[in-house]
Amino acid sequence: MTDLQFDVIVAGCGVAGLSAAVSAAESGARVAVLERATRAERGGQSRYTEAYLRMKSHSEVTDDFELHLARNGSGYVDPDLVQESAGPRSQWPPLVKALSFSDPDIIEQFANAAGATVAWFEGFGVRFDFLPTQFLTKSQPRLLPVGGGQALVEALAARAEKLGVTFHYETTAASLLMNDDGSVAGLRAVQSGNRPLTLSGQVVLACGGFEGNAEMLTRYIGPRAVYLRPVCKGGYYNRGEGIQMALAIGACPCGDFGSYHAEPVDPRSGRAEPSVFIFPYGILVNHEGLRFTDEAPGTIDAHYENITRRIFEQRNGLAHAILDARHTRIPNYKLAIQSDQPPFVANTIAELAKLIGLPANALARTVNEYNAACPEGVSRSLELDALATRGLNPPKSNWATPLNEPPFHAYPVISSNVFTFGGLKVDAQARVLNRDGDAIPGLYAAGETIGMYYGTYTGATSVLKGMVFGRIAGAVAAGTTTTQKSN
């Protein structure tokens, strides 16, 4: 068994892990990064995402940033305990420190550090801009790195290599090593060929959630998780070991373990994130040929997740988006369809039903009832137009125009699992907390290994969370190491 000594060991090579590695190395620490994938596939989900950032400028988060995170930062919590969290954290009782909710100081730290973190990335060559997105209508601006998540991964990795960070590819973190005083001393890992590896040092867990682990998905989300799939191939590398090994030593859980970030995708496509965001301009039907949700309650960026959850609830977790020729005249409509598979196309609804395997009479009846409920008026496709159905259940609140212009198109749609919500509870310094709310010395977390979201994802914050808390975790871990060396 090989035993290696480092100041900081980072499990995970996505944006969160690489941010931690670079931050620690810039502080003078000797750093190792463990990555389950090969060098060519490094980066996990980060390398496949477009990496939307919920920021209104390069230095400021959106106006609703903290409010949205707070509103979706817990389940039902005793209001007396919530009230106790209003004061300084140092005065919180252990019960409140260990509550499964997003602490106010975590949200505040996240918001306050975002601008400086973007500037830090710009310092080693990453460019950011407000570029076109997949959302034809949106309620919030989206800042993007030019080149997407892959640009972040490659810039960080190049910076880490320049700083002398050691990379161990095809290596998976397996369990934590503990000192007698309760601090983390390092971790055990497994390399390709089932070869054991032991590394000593401070540990940063940044190896994602558990969207690639069928057992954990079934345990936490339930047996219907079989109808989910990761949004990209990088998600299959995320199997929850970082969360499991921390929970095994008494770490505090946080985040909604029974939920995940849902995005509508075409199940026929093998490309990364083959999203289908065009359905607000048509209708969604299930296997019985029936509508089951309001397809357009508001802008697509604010509502697609809840709609995708309704798709997941249908038989086999599958629905079809039904559109007529009108949608092809929406400006830049192809941005809303990232699948590389063509739609099913037919000149009649009956023919379309046969192509997609739905009962023709039921689909025709659904379309006729929907058409009859559509009001007169001209739809404004790139803004909320309040053109709503009348007397239809469920209603359609915007863009309710008849489906009567052939050819008719259909896209199959399932819910992808972009990332899971359940993870570890940390403080504002990215230190992992135990079940009494105390920091576990020597253990940090970043990215989706941190549990923060409940019920509804605060859009365009996932990559930013990895950037911000990865940078914090690396710096704090390195600072602790420096302190230990000087004592």
290-313 pLDDT, tens digit each: 999 999 999 999 999 999 999 999
The CATH class of the 263-416 domain is: alpha beta
pLDDT at 86: 86
Whether the pLDDT of residue 1 is over 70: the answer is: no
- d(CA 345, CA 443) in angstroms, rounded, equals 54
HSE toward the beta carbon, residue 292, CA cutoff 13 A = 22
At 87, the pLDDT band (50, 70, 90 cuts) reads: confident
Q: What is the mean pLDDT of residues 424-444?
A: 98
What pLDDT is stored for residue 2 in this prediction?
Answer: 54
Q: Specify the CATH number of the domain 2-259+421-486.
A: 3.50.50.60
Which residues 6+ apart lie within 8 Å of 98 measured at CB? 252, 425, 433, 434, 435, 436, 437
Instruction: Give mean pLDDT, residues 122-146.
Output: 94
Cα separations (Å) of 197 from 2, 85, 277?
A: 5, 42, 45
Q: Is the pLDDT of residue 141 over 90?
A: no
pLDDT tens column, 394-412: 999 999 999 999 999 999 9
CA distances from 326 to 49, 336, 392, 395 (A): 30, 15, 21, 20
Predicted confidence at residue 3, as pLDDT, reads 84
Position 487 pLDDT exceeds 70 = no
**Domain 2-259+421-486 identical in fold to domain 263-416:** no
Instruction: Kindly list the domain boundaries of the chain, sorted by start residue.
Output: 2-259+421-486, 263-416
The residues pairing with 199 across neighbouring beta strands, listed in sequence order, are 4, 187
Q: In this prediction, what percent of the chain has a pLDDT beyond 90?
A: 94
Residue 361's pLDDT band, with cuts at 50, 70 and 90, is very high
Whole-model pTM above 0.75? yes
Neighbours of 169 (CB within 10 A): 17
